Amino acid sequence: MKKYVVKRGKSGLPAKLTRYREELNEEQFKVVTSKPGPALVIAGAGTGKTRTITYRVAYLLEQGVSPDRIFLATFTNRAAREMLGRVESLTGSQNVHRVWGGTFHRIANLILRKHGSSIGFDANYSILDSEDSRDFINVCIDESAIDTKSKRFPKANVVQNIISYANNTAHPIDKVIVGKYPYFEMLTKQIERVAFNYAERKRERNVMDYDDLLLHWKFLLEEKPKIAELYAEQFQHILVDEYQDTNRLQAEIIDLLAVRHRNVMVVGDDAQSIFAWRGAEFTNIYEFGERYPDAKGYKLEKNYRSTPEILGLANTSIAGNKKQFAKVLEAAKPSSGILPALVPCSDVDQQSAFIASRILELRDEGTSLEEMAVVYRSHYHSVELQLELTKRNIPYRVQSGIRFFEQAHLKDVISYLKIIVNPRDELAWKRILKMIPGIGNVTAGKVFEKVAAATFRDGEIGGPGDSGLFAELDDPESTASEKDEPRVAVSQALRVTESLRAFKPRVAKPWERFVSLIESLVSDENRDNPAKQIELVLTSGYEEHLQANYENAEARMEDLQGLAMYAAKYEKTEDFLSELALISTERFQEPQGVSGEDVVMGGEEDEYLTLTSVHQAKGLEWKAVFLIWAAEGKFPSPRSLRELESEEEERRLWYVALTRAKDELYLTYPLIMIDYQRQAVLQKPSRFITECPPALFEVWDLEEEAAQWDDPVELEEKKTEFLN
């Protein structure tokens, strides 16, 4: 076979290269104009990664590469659209839309629509969303003849996450359960049976879920050589953005597509790999050189986001990780002379007061709320701050979309406290009743009717005329109206003896546990201790409820423990609930009906401070960033310190937090914390602070502003009151 090399005209190329040199720095220019072949680009935070990829695609097009022979995998479809839109403006080409750009799942869908029939799927297959997938799994649980009542079987969304994690990491389900869901280990065989039936049912119904798109794409490339050769030939150049966040399945697909030309350029930052918990395989970026021994390495280290002072701290912090590609970010911005501020606070209230005060000062100095953010390791760290911001009328958005106290697990536990304070709270009663295994909407309604009747009617509670659930109580002579506290009436109403016969046997034990919990909550010892009440709820079955209903049960448990610590400063449960209501009722004119991962926003002209976890903040930036609860045991998270790799991921998370700041960075932590037993606990700064030289920080010494009274008589009275 005779080979013929097609020669293309080179008119205008030098001028274009000259333009590239003017618009790119030397590091970026080397990447953009690199020769064909495998390439690993380590792009540090704020170094123009997106710009570099965009110019690389434009360069390939101007070199004569056909757009439909370029594969561009991005973390979001929006990122791909923005990149390709910029490419079109750079090149003036009208054919940029022919580039195969988007997420792995989008491109998988395009290919499976063409070739799915070769692996048993019709071209008109449906794609299940998360809700549809859960419905399918529920059917499979029923069909698998599993007794979900004798042992607490995980809900469909938890099974869904077990299956998904196994698929994306290429780990067998039994290994996933042992590693991430050990409390379901005795149910491994049943969960495996459900997973098998789920896969079979999807195939029979000609449907795929989100993970199937990648699984079947890989299967297609492995089992159908002719189709694999077609795409291996077509994709002459492959570019992958955010490579450190790919999972094993995605990395293997890239290798299968790149087998012919081997022109694969992966771009990412190992120091920003923070999603191992959802299946990302950060080792992909370290092993790239092993899979492609001839790969050329490039580094983007010139940072255009942050000041030299902020980068000095970030560089020193990440140097503590043993496993990494060494790099040192260099600031393109001139020195501001402002070091990152280390702000020890006397307690969490002073921490919140300082942040709110400083935010208002910065706004007065010309930095809008939109240019400021408060970041934290875990959502419960923002509890006190949300209250302080609300009190000061500082509008804010929570990047995850749901404010702390509006999350389901928080509302569950708070509902227990609500019925203790107000036994007539029907919604709270029904919410907690439906968490008892075997009790649904109908039974919950009937139980509440009996509770209400027994607690509030005039006359005897559960008297001779009452033959319902509460037909026989310990103290039939008591009446709700005779009680000084309605909580005592709640306890009386739940002391059930003969009424337990009205329940099916499987409900009896959970009901007894529930009754015992309520009686503990209203006891003299606990009745005015909201922190203790929350602790009792957590240790009386709610933790098992979390494990069975949520895939991130451990993180939610942390939230609730944080809620208990927050509640410890209140002397009465009523006061605690009143403060929560202050946050819940103040909406700053934001849209109602918040759900899922939608970001809460106001109108275009509104101005909001951003509150966000570090995970949600990745890829974003602000002029001023406050990193709160920078204390040992809070950041890093204690549950993440079980092994060396987890500590290094926490340090990468810390690094991501630091590099969100452009001009000003504040690290705050309370010196004293009150735990849920109302004991003062001394806090130490995070190890990520103490491992850095003190010269990298400016320590702020906070002083409380003296209270002032306009009325001298009132001032004298306050002095006397204080002295006495």
Give the HSE-up count for residue 385: Cα atoms under 13 Å, Cβ half-sphere. Answer: 33
Q: Determine contact, residues 344/699, Cβ cutoff 8 Å.
A: yes
**Helix 173-180 / helix 156-169 crossing angle, nearest 10 deg:** 110
Q: Determine contact, residues 311/669, Cβ cutoff 8 Å.
A: no
Six token digits for residue 132: 């549809």
Could you list the active site residues? 49-50, 241-242, 272, 660
For strands 680-682 and 622-627, give the pairing: unpaired
**Helix 77-91 / helix 49-62 crossing angle, nearest 10 deg:** 50
Residue 414 CA to residue 573 CA, distance in Å, equals: 10
Q: Is 98 left (phi over 0), alpha (psi -120 to 50) or beta?
A: alpha
Residue 268 CA to residue 42 CA, distance in Å, equals: 5
Residue 196 CA to residue 639 CA, distance in Å, equals: 32
C-alpha gyration radius of the chain? 30
Q: How many CB atoms lie within 10 A of CB 192?
A: 18
Residue 545 CA to residue 154 CA, distance in Å, equals: 9
Give the residue carrying structure tokens 């300082």: 354
* 530: helix, strand or coil: helix
Residue 608 CA to residue 215 CA, distance in Å, equals: 41
CA distances from 213 to 107, 230, 537 (A): 9, 19, 41
- Complete DSSP assignment for 12-51: THHHHHHHHHHHS-HHHHHHHTPPSS-EEEEE-TTS-HHH
Of 45, 121, 490, the closest CA to residue 310 belongs to 45
* 112: helix, strand or coil: helix
Six token digits for residue 360: 């208002």
Residue 250 CA to residue 579 CA, distance in Å, equals: 47
Of 32, 35, 33, 59, the closest CA to residue 43 belongs to 32
**Most distant CA pair in the chain, distance:** 105
Q: How many residues does the chain have?
A: 724
* 595: helix, strand or coil: coil
Residue 300 CA to residue 30 CA, distance in Å, equals: 10
Q: Show the CA angle centred on residue 471, arms to residues 470 and 477, nearest 5°.
A: 95
DSSP one-letter code for 639? G
